[in-house]
Structure 1
């Protein structure tokens, strides 16, 4: 039997584990109960993360729900404070506290895309979805549906392998801090996994290597387009746009704007000094 792993799955597993490493202690610190829903094939990876926080489960309850027979390898006893159960229909779920759901409809999940949207509408969980690639218009429609469900902040990014096969990753949350955390983990993933990122709403379809210092050309285009529409705005406004509407991080905004100002592509007030969130930038040359 081949032991070759699909690079998409490798990156997805790493992103989930990285995010759970941040999500788990945060929810256990601030809530008595929380729920994790798995509708893919990463239950074992999630349970290994939860086991690392067994000491923090004391006095708390973490409910792990496997949907539609999601596979899991039991590698030991469940930590005190963690329960593991299976359900066939997520519509029957009742949950308390924060909810994070991982759903992969590309890996033989029992859930279809309509099932996913019913889950999102009924529970409004923080979600990490893997879907087939979709055109920009469809991705925008996904984001609109997520906002309507109360998940105001979203990231949509294509994971593309060396042969051009792609999957669409969607992360959505009601907490802007959680979006920031996930984006930081997105760019800290293993850059040797054979996957590059692409913003599905980038008209140039530029592929970007995974790196802590990624190529910023797609962000430059997005920010200059935004600035052209508005005429002028603060650096803080453009950092917010970067966080909420692109695959990049707010800190990347400053690097792009600093380069654009040095090239004379944009002007700024004040004209000298480091860019701060209150610095105003204008489209066009001085």
Structure 2
């Protein structure tokens, strides 16, 4: 099961990088990808990331695309990446000595401030990273982080510095699973992450769980995910706030659940048709300014 879990995380990383890299290169002259805990899996996820970045090197004329690899023993990982990169225009910087000890310093030394920056930190095999390590990635502009944490880790401290922060539990059963968190300074990037999340190929035994779902319902990975947990979370949210516009509820789904804004729209149509919620005005298109409330 560990190999299957690793495959799911690696595919999600690849899918997100495939969307992130072209947009980042279009936006900035210098672009950085930082891969922490790179030696924890022998460099497999770092190699997968490097393959995606190498595919982008045809578009880097006049731009700098760099990959920072940090881990206890980063040099063997760099040697593994060398065979993948060849003569492609991807600069790799390897820093040994531990991600918590070295990442922030390495980012500063590489000049990865105020440039497009994406960090990937899979700490699921050991202790959770220091909050300051994750916060160091907010130096990018825009900045993003994909963070994998051991089961049961408190997520709230890692939200610091990230205007948008979402999470999902990678579950194989009733017991708590690894936590995958995503932080970003861009709403558009969060939408892209959610699209990648549900586009991952379904692997036997691995499902998602929304950390905010009190019923801890397991959700199959699908382009059209089961709406049950989202229905419960939208109704609970309306119970707290009283009423909200469709736009507000779409934003809530995007930022506070594992679902996408479009999933919220579909669920709201179902809830309105079933009479589980009210709407004002009572007729017409379910546009963003329509106010939804409880009966």
After TM superposition, the score normalised by the length of structure 2 is 0.85
Identify unmatched segments of 5+ residues in structure 2: 97-101
Residues matched between the structures, number: 269
After TM superposition, the score normalised by the length of structure 1 is 0.88
Matches within 5 A, 1:118-267: 118-124=132-138, 125-134=143-152, 138-139=154-155, 141-142=156-157, 145-146=158-159, 148-149=160-161, 151-161=162-172, 164=175, 166-267=177-278
Matches within 5 A, 1:50-65: 50-65=53-68
Aligned-pair CA distance for 1:201: 2.3
Aligned-pair CA distance for 1:76: 4.3
1:8–1:165 Cα change, 3 Å: farther
Aligned-pair CA distance for 1:134: 1.8
Aligned-pair CA distance for 1:246: 0.5
Aligned-pair CA distance for 1:225: 1.1
Task: Give the one of 76, 86, 91 matched to 2:94.
Answer: 86
1:104 aligns with 2:113: no
Which aligned segments of 4 or more residues in structure 1 are displaced greater than 3 angstroms? 162-165
Partner of 1:67: 70
- The CA RMSD measured in Å over matched residues stands at 1.9
Aligned-pair CA distance for 1:78: 4.0
Aligned-pair CA distance for 1:85: 1.4
Cα deviations by residue, 1:140-171 (Å, 9 ceiling, x for unpaired): x23xx42x32x111111111125857211011
Aligned-pair CA distance for 1:260: 1.1
Residues 268 and 281, structure 1, Cα contact 8 Å, conserved in 2: yes
Aligned-pair CA distance for 1:91: 3.0
Identify unmatched segments of 5+ residues in structure 1: none
Residues 152 and 176, structure 2, Cα contact 8 Å, conserved in 1: no
Cα deviations by residue, 1:12-38 (Å, 9 ceiling, x for unpaired): 111110010111000100100011111
